[in-house]
Every structure is written in C-alpha cells, then in structure tokens.
A and B are shown apart, each in its own frame.
Chain A
Amino acid sequence: MNTEMQSFIKKYDLLGCIQCGRCTGGCPVTVRTNLNVRRFVYDAKTIDEDTLDELARLPEIWDCTACNTCAVRCPKGLKPVEVLIGLRNILVESGVIQPTVRDALESVFREGNPWEKPRAMRSDWMEGLEVKIAEPGEKVENLVFVCCTNAYDPKVQVSAKNLVKILNKAGVDYGFIGDDESCCASEVHNLGEEGLFEMMVEDNTELLNSYDAKRIVTISPHCYSTLKNQHPDLNAEVIHYTHLLKELFEAGKIELTREFSGRIVYHDPCFLGKQNNVYEEPRFILNQIPGAEIVEFERNRERSLCCEGGGGKMWVESESTKERLADTRVKDAKELGASILAVACPFCVLTLDDSVKAKGFEEEMRVAEILELLGEIME
C-alpha cells in the first residue's frame, strides 16, 4: 500500500465505516443514476492503489450533487461525499476531465469565476444602481459577497440588484467588493480541484481580511457554506442574506405593504439547509409577505429533495436519462397548487426554472429567488 492510498484512507476515515447503508438509503440521485456511495467507501478502503484509479474513472462519481445527505445521515459522522470528491481529485490531477469541467476550472484560475466571463465585467450588474463599494481597510458592518452566478447570469442578477435596493432602503451599513471579488471556490472543491481550491481559499482569505468587516453576507448558500466552513482564517463572521433580512424584519427596517396573492412553496437549498441547518430564516421572511399562503413540500428541511445543481453538476451532465430531480420537484410544487416555487440559491433557480419550462408549467407557476420576490413586493 503506497502513501497515496494510506493518506486516502486516513483522510476520509474509511476504516470508520460500518457499511450500515444509511448513506445510500438517503442519497437522492440513486433513483436516477448508478451511484452507490457505500460501494465507493467500501472499495476505496479495501482495494490496491491501481484500482483506486479505476474507481475514479467510473462515470457515476460525477452524479453526486454534494447535497450532503449521506454525511447528515451517517451514524459514524463520516462524509461519504468527500470520498467521491477525493476520487474526482485523482482525475483532475491527471488532467483528463470533461471539457466543461476543464473550462470552468480554467476560468476560475484565470478570471476568478467558473462562467468563462471576464473579471472586468463582474460588476456590470451594478449599472444604474446606487451601490456602496467598500475600500480595503474600510470599516464596514456587512461586507456583501455577491457570487459569480449572481454577478454574471442575467437570470439571477436580480437577486443582487434587489439586495442593494433593500439594503439602501433599510439604511444598512454595507459595502460590496466589486471586480476584485473572486469565486468562493465551493464548486472548485466539489469538482475535485484541491490545488486550485487551496489557492482560492488563501486568496479569498487575504482579500476578505483586507476589509475591516464585522460580517460577510453571502447571497448564495454555496458561498455561505464554503466561506463559513472551509475558510478557517477569516476575521469576520459569515452569514447568509436570509439571516440579515430576518434581523431587518425584526427591527422593523423592512416593510412590505403590497399585498401578494398566491401560494408559495419553499424549496430548501442543500447548501443552506442540509449543509448548514438554516431552515427557519427563509421561511420567516416568506411569512412576512402580506397575503401569501406558505405551503410545504412533503419532503422539506433536512429531507428536502436536491435540485441537482450543486456538486459541480452545473458543468457535468449525468449519463442518466431518467427524470431529473428538479422535474420531480416542480411536479410536486404544481400538485401543491403553488404559483411560486421560492428558493434562496442561484443554482436552484437555474435548475428548477429549466424544469418549469421543460414541463410546460410556465402558465401556472414560476421559480423565484426570495430576493426577487421581495423586490416585486417592495416596489
């Protein structure tokens, strides 16, 4: 057994696994793919090093959405998801990866975002808005971390825009970073590029610590999760925007006067819920909307069904042709009679919105980020 194998077993504590099957029993993608995470945890600890490479070449390692259900359910406190990410790392280090993954990672390295967009265009979404940009060294209560997807994708830029409007209206002490902001690297980690992830964590820590910020407010749960849990040397506390908005509602700084008519169902993003136990804040905010009827999915909170947008899946297409989980989710929302499928994550917006269109449900319902919804009600 070589050093690589020993460190693999030690790193993921593979000998701690008792093969109880709680991980596979909760894995949301097993209904549509061949992924069996228990098999990988078992094989990775019992085979020789040559076969570790073979294991890494099985296509199903890319079916994992890093939703974290397996880790939440593991009675031994292991993280089976990380074994799959470790196997992805073996492939990444060999250089032979899918072109879409390659291009996303190269884009993070060169331009600080996975969307192959120029860094110089990162703040274009701010045009026409009064946005406070914080200067390094400046004391700021809430330093806002926008996220690449919110910054560049026209479908979800509205989240960042509406957050600016809300912060201005509520008189919050805040500052944005501007073009210097780089990817939080959550998806870099999930795609298995450990070297780039380590580099990004160092760079992000240096950048974010250059501000005298009390808190870092993220718009995306993916940024929230990785800044909070994988950037150990940050000086500031990391919160999600739903934490901040709940505070503002409780302090009476946000007032929603316009009546909303319709039924809203909230979909828990994995990186907010299952990964970080933030379940109540989004629901608290939705409950402030006058006239809204809030309903729940049968599978909610820690049992919430993953939309398959995380774990690097924005850049990897599953080989499975079975129904996408996002399709299942929007069908469930339609059965509940929801006119709004509310989410608090840009990836959830993109995957679920695709499904609403693919299923032809656009007449009856739409997917909306909570910030998008609030912007409409506040206007």
Chain B
Amino acid sequence: MKTFVCIKRVPDTSEAEVKVDATGKDVDSSRFSFDINEADNYAVEEAILIKEAMGGTVQVVCIGPKDADVMIRMALAKGGDSAMRIEDPRINLIDPLKVAKVLAATLKDQECNLVLTGCMANDDGSMAVGVALAEELGVSHAAMVKKVEILDESKIKVHRELEGGLLEVVELALPAVLTIQTGINEPRYAPIRGIRQAQKKELKVLSLDDIGLAEDEVNEASSLIELDKFYIPEVVSTAEVIEGEPEEKGVIMAEKLVKGGLL
C-alpha cells in the first residue's frame, strides 16, 4: 500500500490571546506555539498503522514554511519514508480549493493507493481540502473517517461519522482520499533519537514550477475567495436567566421559544 499523508503546520490558539495584526488580514502569531494540525496527526498515525499491517510506504506531504520541517521530521520518525514540502509565496493559502490543486499537482505523477489527511484544520476550520483534493485527483473519497479496513489491494471499507452520532459504513475503490477524524487511533510519540535518525530520510522542497503549476492557477487573483478582513467578534451579553420554580420556568421558556419562532 502506497500511502500519502498531507499535514499542515498550525498555530495553537488555545493559550495566547488571538489578535488581528496591523494589515487587518491576518492574525498576530508572534505569541503562538505551532504544531502539526491535530487531525493530521491522527492521519499520520493511521497511515503508519496501515503500513505496519500491510507493508508499503508512507510519504508525507506538506505545504508550508521551513518551520514545518520539525513536524515533517516527527512524522518521518514515527515511520514515514520520505517527504515533500511545497513552499511558494504565490499560492493563495486561504483558499482550500487552491491548496487542493497544489496537493493534487504534487501527487499526480506519484504511484499512490491512498491519501490521508485530517478532516479539519485547527486554524481555518474549512474542512474542504481533503474532499477538494479527491475531486482534483478524480478519485473517490470519504470524509470524517473513524475506522479504516483494508479489504484488498483495490478496495477498502471505512466507517465515517455523520451528524447526530450516526456512523456510515462505505466501501471505496482505490485510489481514494480519506479525511481522518480525531480519535480514530492514539498517535504515537516521536522520540528524539528517532527524529535525529529521520534527518537521513529524503525531504524534497518544491516550488510551483517543480510541480508544474502556473502562478495564475493558484494565486490570489485566480481565487474565488476574497479575504476582506479579520475582526474579533464583539462581546455582547444577550443571555437571560429565567427565575422561578421549575414548572414556571418551563412555561416561560416555552412561551419564549414559540414567540421566537423556534417551536
């Protein structure tokens, strides 16, 4: 099984305050720590579990700056075989369709059975890249995957999470793209000795020219998405606490819901 796993370097916004930077079109990331996107980390683990069970290779793909090399090396230390990092300032990274186009161009000449990536990025939360990548590659896909069973060289069965707590079980013909939901496995630790050894594994750095894409296919001007501005939502207090005995509260609540058109 030849598997590609697409990962993204994202900021951890849970600790430092999120502030809009001077351009108004980006976030001040000077106080953030950065890590591999959470769902992508599960995708890496799933790819390595498949390799351990079936044999084959795992190749890591990442669009990002040199700082992403740490996350790539960690994935290689866990069992990845080689990596490609695409870095080019001409790519409009806020548009998931352009990101998917770049990934597809990177993979198009590769022998590939399976592409895994996280179901959602922690920074933009668009949940679109994996599915768009399948479209670009012209292969089948399953999103929000919680379980993967390899049936044979040409077919897999996956369990995917739907709204309302339902699981859908589907069979897909390979090659296919799966977007991996967190919790599918328990990502392993990459020991430092392993990361040091992974320095010997191949990590190619590619530009748009290397993957055969023209600037006007993936730049801002070609994008249907236009970033207007970032802003911090205004904090307003609209909660109302209903007082009284439970029976009275229930009646008041019901009246409010009916009046508000929700019942």
- Could you say which residues of chain B place their CB within 8 Å of the CB of A119? 33
CA distance A231 to B150 in the complex (A): 49
State whether A195 touches B191 (Cβ < 8 A).
yes
State whether A105 touches B30 (Cβ < 8 A).
no
B15, B70, B189, B196 interface centre (most CB from chain A within 10 Å): B189
- Could you say which residues of chain A place their CB within 8 Å of the CB of B187? 99, 102
Inter-chain contact total with CB atoms closer than 8 Å: 64
Within 8 A of A (CB), among B156-208: 186-194, 196
* 0/1 string, B78-97, CB within 8 A of A gives 1: 10000000000000000000
State whether B15 touches A121 (Cβ < 8 A).
yes
Known contacts A118-B12, A118-B16, A111 near B33 by CB under 8 Å: yes
Name the segment of A73-81, A88-96, A158-166 touching the other chain: A88-96
Within 8 A of B (CB), among A191-223: 193-196, 198-199
- Could you say which residues of chain A place their CB within 8 Å of the CB of B189? 92, 95-97, 101-102, 105-106
CA distance A196 to B191 in the complex (A): 7
Tell whether A109 is near chain B: CB-to-CB under 8 Å.
yes
State whether B190 touches A195 (Cβ < 8 A).
no
Tell whether A39 is near chain B: CB-to-CB under 8 Å.
no
Tell whether B66 is near chain A: CB-to-CB under 8 Å.
no
CA distance A106 to B41 in the complex (A): 13
State whether A95 touches B188 (Cβ < 8 A).
yes
State whether B32 touches A120 (Cβ < 8 A).
yes
Within 8 A of A (CB), among B1-55: 12, 15-16, 30-35
- Could you say which residues of chain B place their CB within 8 Å of the CB of A99? 186-187
CA distance A198 to B195 in the complex (A): 14
- Could you say which residues of chain A place their CB within 8 Å of the CB of B70? 110
- Could you say which residues of chain B place their CB within 8 Å of the CB of A199? 192
CA distance A240 to B193 in the complex (A): 32
Select which of A96, A102, A117 is within 8 A of B33 by beta carbon: A117
- Could you say which residues of chain A place their CB within 8 Å of the CB of B34? 110
- Could you say which residues of chain A place their CB within 8 Å of the CB of B35? 106, 110
- Could you say which residues of chain A place their CB within 8 Å of the CB of B33? 110-111, 116-120
Q: How far is the CB of B140 from chain A (nearest CB, A)?
A: 31
State whether A93 touches B193 (Cβ < 8 A).
yes
Q: How far is the CB of A201 from chain B (nearest CB, A)?
A: 12
CA distance A118 to B70 in the complex (A): 16
State whether A120 touches B16 (Cβ < 8 A).
yes
Chain A interface, DSSP helix/strand/loop, else mixed? helix
A interface residues, how many (CB within 8 angstroms): 25
State whether A193 touches B191 (Cβ < 8 A).
yes
Q: How far is the CB of B249 from chain A (nearest CB, A)?
A: 32
CA distance A195 to B35 in the complex (A): 20
State whether B78 touches A95 (Cβ < 8 A).
yes
Q: How far is the CB of B70 from chain A (nearest CB, A)?
A: 7
CA distance A117 to B13 in the complex (A): 10
- Could you say which residues of chain B place their CB within 8 Å of the CB of A120? 16, 30-33
State whether B188 touches A193 (Cβ < 8 A).
no
Who on chain B is nearest to A188 by CB? B192
- Could you say which residues of chain B place their CB within 8 Å of the CB of A92? 189, 191
CA distance A96 to B16 in the complex (A): 30
State whether B190 touches A121 (Cβ < 8 A).
no
- Could you say which residues of chain B place their CB within 8 Å of the CB of A195? 191-194, 196
CA distance A195 to B189 in the complex (A): 13
State whether B30 touches A93 (Cβ < 8 A).
no
Who on chain A is nearest to B41 by CB? A106
Who on chain B is nearest to A95 by CB? B188
Q: How far is the CB of B31 from chain A (nearest CB, A)?
A: 4
- Could you say which residues of chain A place their CB within 8 Å of the CB of B186? 99
Who on chain B is nearest to A101 by CB? B189
Who on chain B is nearest to A109 by CB? B192
- Could you say which residues of chain B place their CB within 8 Å of the CB of A196? 191-192
Select which of B32, B78, B188 is within 8 A of A118 by beta carbon: B32
A96, A97, A120, A198 interface centre (most CB from chain B within 10 Å): A120
CA distance A126 to B30 in the complex (A): 18
State whether A95 touches B194 (Cβ < 8 A).
yes
Q: How far is the CB of A98 from chain B (nearest CB, A)?
A: 9
Who on chain B is nearest to A118 by CB? B33
- Could you say which residues of chain B place their CB within 8 Å of the CB of A109? 192
Q: How far is the CB of A209 from chain B (nearest CB, A)?
A: 22
**Which residues of B does A touch, CB under 8 Å?**
12, 15-16, 30-35, 70, 74, 78, 186-194, 196
Q: 5 A-B Cβ contacts within 8 A?
A: A92-B189, A99-B186, A111-B33, A195-B192, A199-B192
Which 7 A-B pairs have CB atoms at the shortest separation, nearest pair first?
A: A195-B192, A95-B188, A195-B193, A118-B33, A102-B189, A120-B31, A196-B192
What would 4 more interface pairs be, CB under 8 Å, given A120-B31, A121-B31? A95-B190, A106-B190, A110-B70, A196-B191
